Structures are given as C-alpha cells and as structure tokens.
A and B are shown apart, each in its own frame.
Chain A
Amino acid sequence: MSELSVEHLLGIKYLKPNDIDVIFKTADHFKEVINRPIKKVPSLRDITIANLFFENSTRTKLSFELAEKRLSADVINFSANQSSVKKGETLIDTVNNILAMKVDIVVMRHGNVGAGVFLSKHVNAKIINAGDGTHEHPTQALLDSYSIREKLGTVKGKRIVIIGDVLHSRVALSNIFALQLQGAEVKVCGPTTLIPKYISSLGVQVETNLKKALEWCDVANVLRVQHERMDIKYFPSTREYTQLFGINQEILDSLGKKIVIMHPGPINRGVEISSDVADSNDSIILNQVENGVAVRMAVIYLLAQQIKR
C-alpha cells in the first residue's frame, strides 16, 4: 500500500503502522531529492498551501515552508500576531476567508488543543497539525522516529527515554504514540511535577533517576524546559533542574555505552543539555532538522495525492 489511511494529519494517534511506513518510504525518496543540486520537484505545481501559525515558531514554520516550496506548491503565510485575529475574528472565519482564495492544504499551529480536529470538521481543505497546544505535534514525532530509523536501522525494539518537561510537551505525546506504534519501548524521565498523571495509562513507565534512565535506553530525546507554558513553579530553580536532569558529557561517559541524543529544539544550552553534548557526534539534532524537510515533503505529497482535480 502506498496510500495514507487518513485524510488529514491531525495527530499520530489517528495513524496506523502502515501509514508511518508509507511516510518514511516516501521521505527516503525526498531525502535523495533535497540532496540534489536542484532540490525541487514539480509535483505540487497546482496546489496552494496556507501556513497558519497562531503560535510562534521558527524551525517548524521554515521547515514546512521549505518542504512546500521544494514540492513547487504555492505558499501563503499567516502569523496571528499581525492579523485580524486580534480584531476578534473566529478561527473558522479566518480559515474560510483564506480558503476563499482557493487554498488546498492548511498547515496550522494553534495554542488550543484539538484546533486541527475542529477545523477539519468545518472547512473543506486538508489539515496538517503543526502543533496544537500541549496535545500533538505529529510531524515532529515522525521526523524523530525517521531520524532514529536512519541512525539505528529500525525503531522496533529500541528503548527510547523522553527526558524533561513532558507535561507541557506535545512533542512527547506524539513521540510516545509514534514510537509505540512502531514497536519501541518508551520511558519518560523528569521531575514528578512535570510528568503528567495519566502517563502510565499510555503504557509508559516513569523513571525519576536520570542515570538509570540513560543506562536503560538506546536513545535519549531531551525536551526543552518550556518556561513560557509554566504558570506556576514546577521546580525550585533552573540550576537544580540542570543538576538533576541536565544531560552533560560526564554522565554520558559514565554509562559505558553510546546512546543517541536528540532534541526537538530550540535548545536551552546549559539547562536541559550541555553544549558539548549538543554538538557531539552522538547528537543527531541537526539530522533531525534536515530530515524534518524530507518527512514534511512526504506528508504533504501523500495528502495532496488524495485531492482529486
């Protein structure tokens, strides 16, 4: 099968294992494309894509825009802080006004959980969720798994620990779904205040000792401490957080084995990860960024394929 079972990419939880396979195989081809002297294919010449970012983003927005342009789609960008949203327009009105300009695919980041699902029920376009609140960020999870697959050959059977601010992280939730779908084992590690209570219901074990977590795993996916989402104090001080949960070369050297280090970015250098680790050979942080373009090209291509003319 070379088709997706879903009509939109709203979250990893709606995907089947075969969907991930199809996306990764297609991404392999696009990875070859983006390493050519001319990194562009004409497939989506007659498709228009709107990137609607109601929340700030640098990497994801650039990555999506580049993926769209490399597929030759027409792209329009929208950021909430310079728009009529501030004048009180509703989400459906905003999007329908954009769709009136004949847009086929909407890539949306929104602060509210479920914004993508809501939109998919009310507007006539393909929706790709680029992050909805603290819920899901499916393309990030896909590119994370794709990067693990590239580095270790497969995701199945691997042990991945997600470290840090799991509570506020859509990356963590999408990653848990994606990794389990592919047969990996997942643990989370962080201050108990930043581990959601429901986490065990997802079949994920909690480890509060960083050293033990690292000794167990093949891959450590280090999350950013999301200060901007913390309305109360979740840990006494950044210094204490770094001492207990920060990844540095010293703790990695003490493991007696190599593990793969990932980070979805942006990095707080010296907080959740030290600079020498982030820039080391065990870190695949920049591979994640490169793979992000290929994976997003694959998702957009596969969804666009369903749009009949």
Chain B
Amino acid sequence: MSRKTLLNSKDIEIILHRLACELIENHHDFSNTVLIGLQPRGSYLARRLAELLKKEYHIKNLELGLLDITFYRDDFRRKDTPLAAETSEMNFLIEDKKVVLIDDVLFSGRSIRAALSAIQSYGRPENIELLVLIDRRFSRHLPIQPNYKGRQVDAINEERVLVTWKETHKKDAVFIKLK
C-alpha cells in the first residue's frame, strides 16, 4: 500500500493561519458568526481553528459547535455497515447567524448536503459558508463548492486522502494513498 505525504505539519500550520486570516477578513470579530465542525473528522480542524483564532488572533466570544449528520445522511439502509452516530454539541441557536461549516476533506459533497439539512434544526441562519482543509475538486456528486480551502487536490477516485491530527495520530499530516 503506497502512500505519499501531501502536507506535513509545517504546511498544515501555515494553512491554518491563512484560513484563520481569511475568516477574520470576512467575519471581523465573529460577533455574529458561529463555527460548526462536522463530526467526527471535521471537529479536529474546527477545534484547531477556534483555538488559533482565540490565542493568536485574540478573537473573543468565539462560538464553536460540533454537528453530527448521521441521521441526515442519504445512504441509510444502503450500506452493509451500520451508520453509527456521534455526539452533537450545539449549545446555541443559529437564527440569523453567519455559519461556517468546517470539514477536513470535501469529496462527493454528500456530507455537506446532509449538514445543510441538519443545520436547519437549529434555526434559519443568515448565510452558510464552507471551509475545508482538502478540496478534491473532480469528485463532486453535487453542486457544492467550498468558500475557504486549504489545498486543492486532483486525486483520482481510486486514491484516498487521509488527514491525521496530532490529537489522535501524534502528528498533523495529509496523505494520499491507493485504496
């Protein structure tokens, strides 16, 4: 099984800083903005970005939610393996707020479609943007595009993009490997 490193921890750190700055450019002090990480994998990126914004860029009162989309997925009963849910941690409503959805890899766009349905349960937001670390641009099944992206990747379908975080795998890295 061959795999090659697409981004190392230094690359990821630079990208996180850039994404944080792009968010500040559009959302200023985040007084009317909430960040929502998609469970499970988008949560790491969302937590990391929130931490960076608070510590390095002195954003106060940043609201971060973690959203599980299992019950909104369109492949329920279509897979052999059961869909197991994760915890949603949404301690606020999003009525009239600007929402930034955060996920690690944008592939088919189906998770984001599910997230767009799920988010409605918490109110009607002013608008919703999408932030991803990796955008696999030729693999979309739906007309969904990110507003903020870390790196664009032209991986073919037989390849898998794998993101590891130091919280779970000891180091930050993005790999590309054959399935």
Contact = CB atoms under 8 A, between A and B. Distances in A.
Contacts of B118: 41
A40 B76 contact: no
Interface stretch (A27-35, A131-139, A203-211): A27-35
B82 A32 contact: no
Contacts of B82: 2-3, 302, 305
Interface string A24-59: 011011001100111111110000000000000000
Enumerate the 10 nearest inter-chain pairs by beta-carbon distance, A residue then B residue, closest first. Answer: A2-B84, A41-B71, A38-B121, A29-B85, A36-B121, A43-B71, A3-B82, A2-B82, A305-B82, A32-B88
Given A29-B87, A32-B87, A36-B121, 14 more contacts: A2-B83, A29-B70, A29-B86, A29-B88, A36-B122, A37-B93, A37-B121, A37-B123, A38-B120, A39-B121, A40-B121, A41-B118, A43-B76, A309-B77
Given A2-B84, A36-B121, A29 B76 contact: no
Contacts of A38: 120-122
B123 A42 contact: no
Contact of A37 (B70, B78, B88, B122): B122
Contacts of A42: 71-72, 117
A28 B121 contact: no
Interface of A: 2-3, 25-26, 28-29, 32-33, 36-43, 71, 301-302, 304-305, 307-309
B103 interface: no
Nearest to B118: A41
Contacts of A33: 71, 88, 121
B68 interface: yes
A88 to B, nearest CB: 37
11 contacts: A25-B85, A29-B70, A29-B71, A29-B87, A37-B122, A37-B123, A38-B120, A38-B121, A42-B117, A304-B77, A305-B82
A309 B80 CA distance: 11
Interface secondary structure of B, over-half rule: loop
Interface string B90-126: 1001000000000000000000000001101111000
Nearest to B123: A37
Contacts of A309: 77-78
Given A2-B84, A26-B85, A29-B85, A41 B68 contact: no
Contacts of A304: 77
Contacts of B122: 36-38
A41 B70 CA distance: 10
B72 A305 contact: no
Contact of B77 (A3, A28, A71, A305): A305
Interface string B14-37: 000000000000000000000000
A2 B84 CA distance: 6
B125 to A, nearest CB: 13
B43 to A, nearest CB: 15
A307 B87 contact: no
Interface centre among A26, A28, A29, A308 (most CB of B within 10 A): A29
A38 to B, nearest CB: 4
A33 B117 CA distance: 13
Nearest to B71: A41
B111 to A, nearest CB: 15
Interface centre among B78, B82, B123 (most CB of A within 10 A): B82
A71 B87 CA distance: 17
Contacts of B120: 38
Contact of B87 (A28, A39, A40, A43): A28
Contacts of A308: 77
Nearest to B94: A37
Contacts of B77: 304-305, 307-309
B72 A41 contact: yes
A304 B122 CA distance: 26
A243 B122 CA distance: 50
A29 B72 CA distance: 13
Contacts of A29: 68, 70-71, 85-88
